Amino acid sequence: MKVLVVGGAGYIGSHMVKQLRNAGHEPVVLDDLSNGHADAVLGAKLIVGNCGAPDVLEPLFRSQKIDCVMHFAGLIQVEESVREPAKYYNNNVCAMMTLLDAMLRHGVKELVFSSTAAVYGQAGSTPLDESSPISPINPYGRSKWFMEQVLQDYESAYGLRTISLRYFNAAGADPDGELGERHEPETHLIPLILRVASGRQDAIQVFGRDYPTPDGTCIRDYIHISDLCNAHLAALESLRSGAKGSAYNLGNGKGFSVAQIIEAAKSVTGRPIQVIERDRRAGDPAILVANADRARAELGWSPRFPDIEDIISHAWNWERTGL
């Protein structure tokens, strides 16, 4: 299938392009390179432009016979979304609405959408399933939830068929070492810890020691980037086989605190990791852990790299050799 990968030069999108090719599909990338890197697009056509620009979308859809779209072009920093909500609503909602208009105009009716665990907001220690209450606590989570609802309405009214994948914490790197995480500035926990391990950064800041968790630091469910991308392939198959639109959690069902991730990184790298304690970061919920049974049952998905050591070790390989 010819798959338009919007945001295909970014962290998740670039891994997706590689896995689409390996699965025999033909990815075409649309990316404005605001956060992505042209050299991360391996073996696919790259069209440089913003998915909110009709003058970019029109010729693209006219010239390429796109079967399906995957959207990875969202802004993703929780704390930034609290400071600059306009940026988040303009990009994650308005630009995407323009993309949807173009899809519908050109009869492209299948979409795999990158949603997030942040739609759930504050959660207890029980893993979240898709029927858990939706109540985002930051603009980032709200922007994604708006879009999920738009997509449901578009399914009823226009026959657009969408699978929304609610990512927990995407992490790790390509097991072959060809691709990895290259956010600038980097804000994510695992790559920042590994910068400390490799000596590129002096210390890791721990945002909050007073959360209602056993060690006081936030708990997240880290999922390997390659497993996340495999779930998109499964979602594509599901849409192709006529399944109704739906939302699926993607995580391993196991939570690790910030302090536990630092310990795991010390053990994987064998290096010391200096810590600085800071206040809480705005917008961060205490705990987010997935129950991904629905994705396993309905998409036939299962993670190949559920162990945190593998996730950290692939990211460490990239930190040392890939950048």
- Find the binding residues for ligand UDP in span 218-247 (CB under 6 A): 218, 220
Does residue 188 touch ligand UDP according to CB under 6 A? Answer: yes
Does residue 12 touch ligand UDP according to CB under 6 A? Answer: no
Stretch that binds ligand UDP, among 92-100, 183-191, 236-244, 315-323 (CB under 6 A): 183-191
Q: Which is nearer to ligand UDP, 50 or 313 (CB)?
A: 313
At 4, phi and psi to the nearest 5? -80, 115
Among 4, 78, 268, 287, binds ligand UDP (CB under 6 A): 78
Size of the site for ligand UDP (CB under 6 A): 15
Q: Which is nearer to ligand UDP, 112 or 258 (CB)?
A: 258
Scored b (16 or more CB within 10 A) or e, 133-150 reads ebebbbbbbbbbbbbbeb
Q: Are 94 and 87 in contact (CB under 8 A)?
A: no
Does residue 108 touch ligand UDP according to CB under 6 A? Answer: no
Q: Are 166 and 300 in contact (CB under 8 A)?
A: no
Q: Which is nearer to ligand UDP, 60 or 287 (CB)?
A: 287
Tracing tokens 């007073």 back to the chain, one arrives at: 210
Whether 167 is a known active-site residue: answer no
Does residue 205 touch ligand UDP according to CB under 6 A? Answer: yes
- Find the binding residues for ligand UDP in span 274-303 (CB under 6 A): 281, 284
224, β-bridge pairs: 171
Question: What does DSSP say about strands 219-220 and 256-257: parallel, antiparallel, or unpaired?
Answer: antiparallel
Token pair in block for residue 12: 């998740």
Q: Which is nearer to ligand UDP, 114 or 169 (CB)?
A: 169
Q: Which of 140, 154, 167, 211 is catalytic?
A: 140
- The least distance separating ligand UDP from the CB of residue 217, rounded to whole angstroms, comes to 7
Say whether 70 sits in a helix, a strand or coil: strand
Name residues whose C-beta falls within 8 Å of residue 117's C-beta, 6 or more positions apart in sequence. Answer: 128, 166, 167, 168, 169, 221, 249, 251, 288, 290
Which residues here bind ligand UDP, judged by CB under 6 A? 78, 169, 187-189, 192, 204-207, 218, 220, 258, 281, 284
